[in-house]
């Protein structure tokens, strides 16, 4: 069992890079770690500018999807022991920037319906029966 594992992370900063580039980080090899744990170690201990998305850490939300050793995986579900027999892992993460046009509603949308929306008919908590019926069919 190696003491450390090397993560080669694809990074791209439009302000300074003309091409995506690999950056190499050495992290401790912990058999109970997922790739997401290794990335969080890098962010917390080595380079706080490393950015990637994750949320639930349970394989539910899908936000930690990335290329790991050439295949799509959820970083919170991919064990470091499964992908690092050679002690090296390649990770490609698509990191959205503030103002990225591919995320137009990120800061304006809400997962909850609001009072006054078509879903509510009378007051908070009452759901419009017609809207409910439409969702069920
Ligand atoms: S963090 Fe939600 S699926 Fe990985």
- Give the pLDDT confidence of 86-127 residue by residue, as tens digits: 666 777 765 444 445 544 444 555 555 565 555 555 556 666
The reply to whether ligand 1 has any atom less than 6 angstroms from the CB of 56 is yes
The reply to whether ligand 1 has any atom less than 6 angstroms from the CB of 55 is yes
* Ligand 1: centre distance to CA 19 (Å): 28
CA distances from 87 to 13, 49, 58, 72 (A): 27, 24, 25, 19
| Residue pLDDT, tens place only, 32-90 | 999 999 999 999 999 998 988 899 999 999 999 988 888 888 999 999 888 766 666 77
Please state which CATH class domain 4-92 belongs to: alpha beta
Structure tokens at 56: 């639930």
The reply to whether ligand 1 has any atom less than 6 angstroms from the CB of 88 is no
Domain boundaries, the chain: 4-92, 110-136
Q: What is the pLDDT of residue 15?
A: 85
* Ligand 1: centre distance to CA 130 (Å): 34
CB atoms < 10 A from the CB of 126, how many? 10
CA distances from 38 to 4, 18, 45, 130 (A): 11, 27, 10, 48
What is the rounded distance in angstroms from the CA atom of residue 55 to the CA atom of residue 65? 11
User: Sign of dihedral through CA atoms 88, 32, 82, 61?
Assistant: negative
| Residue pLDDT, tens place only, 25-41 | 999 989 899 999 999 99
The reply to whether ligand 1 has any atom less than 6 angstroms from the CB of 53 is no
Q: H or E stretch including 40?
A: helix 35-41
pTM metric for this prediction: 0.67
């Amino acid at each position: 069992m190696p003491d450390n594992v090397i993560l080669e992370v694809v990074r791209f900063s439009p302000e300074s890079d003309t091409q995506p580039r690999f950056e190499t980080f050495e992290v401790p090899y912990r058999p109970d770690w997922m790739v997401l744990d290794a990335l969080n170690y890098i962010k917390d201990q080595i380079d706080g500018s490393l950015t990637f998305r994750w949320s639930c850490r349970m394989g539910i939300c899908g936000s930690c999807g990335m290329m790991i050793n050439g295949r799509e995986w959820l970083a919170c579900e991919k064990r470091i022991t499964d992908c690092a027999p050679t002690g090296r892992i390649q990770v490609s993460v698509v990191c959205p920037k503030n103002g990225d046009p591919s995320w137009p509603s990120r800061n304006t949308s809400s997962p909850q319906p609001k009072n006054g929306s078509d879903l509510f008919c009378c007051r908070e908590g009452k759901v419009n029966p017609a809207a409910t019926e439409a969702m069920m069919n």
